[in-house]
Amino acid sequence: MGRQTKIIKECINQNKLLKKKKLSVQTFSNVSIRLNDKYFTIKPSGVLPEKIILKKCPIIRISDGKKIAGSYKPSTDTPTHRLIYKKFGEIKSIAHTHSKYVTAWAQSGKSIPIYGTTHADYWKSEIPVTNFISQKDLKKNYEANTGNLIIKTLSKKKLNPFNCPGIIVSGHGGFSWGKNNTDAVKMSELMEFVAELAYFTEQIKVKKKLPKYISKKHFERKFGKKSYYGQKN
């Protein structure tokens, strides 16, 4: 099995994993994986993960979005994925979900505040929510401009994809990403868990927000220059 075929197979498995982890209902969600600097593969539109046929999977050119292989029609969210890959060369995988708690926050139009260290272990700040896409941008190219909206939100908040591994699109759902083929789904799972914790925290009512120095410490011990979490290679 060649390298490209292995990556496409992994993409199918990651789409199955979204469903297994209950981050996806029917065909609402999708995972893509970068094949190399020029191309990526993505879940086909409207096909259940367990029904995907490997040889039919679409391969998309990052520079212009053209499908260069595969008989399946790619996910309707393909232009969103493409623009994120084009902007951030370090991103190797992207997941888009309509999971319960993340989507509830999206529908509320609210960012998820840092209420505890579980959140701060992976996100440097709140999990941001974008503005609603404008009617003009929706009519021009809805999915591509959703990608632009995500990129603009990260830039406006002075964040990058690796101190903010997931974002919420207002009224829509979540997008997450990672540095390898499996990180996007992992971050989707973490974002859903953080969203659920934040929801219950607000039901209980917050007495005090987590102090900035604690959230900073938790993020930096994993990802800072002097990080010490985990095993040394």
Tens digits of residue pLDDT in 102-140? 999 999 999 999 999 999 999 999 999 999 989 999 889
Tens-place pLDDT, residues 143-183: 999 999 999 999 999 999 999 999 999 999 999 999 999 99
* Average pLDDT, integer, range 185-191: 97
Task: Give percent above pLDDT 90 in the chain.
Answer: 82
Residue 1: pLDDT band by 50, 70, 90 thresholds?
low
| Domains of the chain from N-terminus onward | 3-223 (3.40.225.10)
Report H helices in 157-226.
183-204, 212-223
pLDDT at 233: 62
Average pLDDT over the chain, rounded to an integer: 92
Alpha-carbon distance of 113 to 106, in angstroms, equals: 13
- The pair of structure tokens assigned to 144 is 């591509």
pLDDT at 219: 81
- Give which of 109, 99, 91, 81 is closest to 194, Cα–Cα: 99
CA distance linking residue 95 with residue 79, whole number of Å:
13
Whether 74 has a pLDDT exceeding 80, the answer reads yes
Summarised one tens digit per residue, pLDDT across range 192-205 is 999 999 999 999 97
Task: Show which residues are catalytic.
Answer: 121, 229
How much is the pLDDT for 231? Answer: 66
3-state helix, strand, coil in the chain (%, to 5): 45, 15, 40
Amino acid present at 20: K
pLDDT value for 177: 98
For the residues 210-225, what does the mean pLDDT come to? 78
Identify the band that residue 232 occupies on the pLDDT scale cut at 50, 70 and 90: low
Task: Indicate the pTM of the whole model.
Answer: 0.90
Residue 24 pLDDT greater than 90, yes or no: no
Banded pLDDT at 26 (limits 50, 70, 90): confident
